[in-house]
């Protein structure tokens, strides 16, 4: 079994905000590299359609588009 290095993984939750580049769209939560990548179903977030911001309906992580 492979041991994960938890220091390198991001944890999605309501107190975290993530800034994404336009090249990273379409955005979804959880994102690859997050420690809880399978904590809830993948949901695509309409960041561009919501004025550059979106909140995950499952874990309340907040995402915004870098300007």
Domain that holds residue 22: 12-65
At residue 1, the pLDDT reads: 42
* CA dist., res. 60 & res. 67, Å (int): 22
At residue 46, the pLDDT reads: 95
Residue 7 domain-assigned (yes or no): no
Residue 1 domain-assigned (yes or no): no
* Whole-structure pTM value: 0.70
Residue 51 domain-assigned (yes or no): yes
Q: What are the residue ranges of helices labelled H in the chain?
A: none
Give the chain's residues under pLDDT 50. Answer: 1-2, 12
Residue 3 domain-assigned (yes or no): no
At residue 7, the pLDDT reads: 56
Residue 35 domain-assigned (yes or no): yes
21, two tokens: 């580049």
Residue 37 domain-assigned (yes or no): yes
Of all helices (H) and strands (E), which one includes residue 20?
Answer: strand 17-20
What is the number of structural domains in the chain?
Answer: 1
């Amino acid at each position: 079994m492979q041991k994960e290095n938890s220091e390198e993984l991001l944890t999605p939750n309501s107190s975290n905000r993530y800034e994404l580049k336009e090249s990273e769209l379409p955005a979804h939560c959880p994102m690859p590299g997050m420690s809880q990548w399978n904590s809830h179903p993948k949901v695509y977030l309409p960041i561009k359609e919501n004025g550059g911001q979106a909140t995950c309906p499952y874990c309340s992580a907040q995402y915004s588009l870098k300007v």
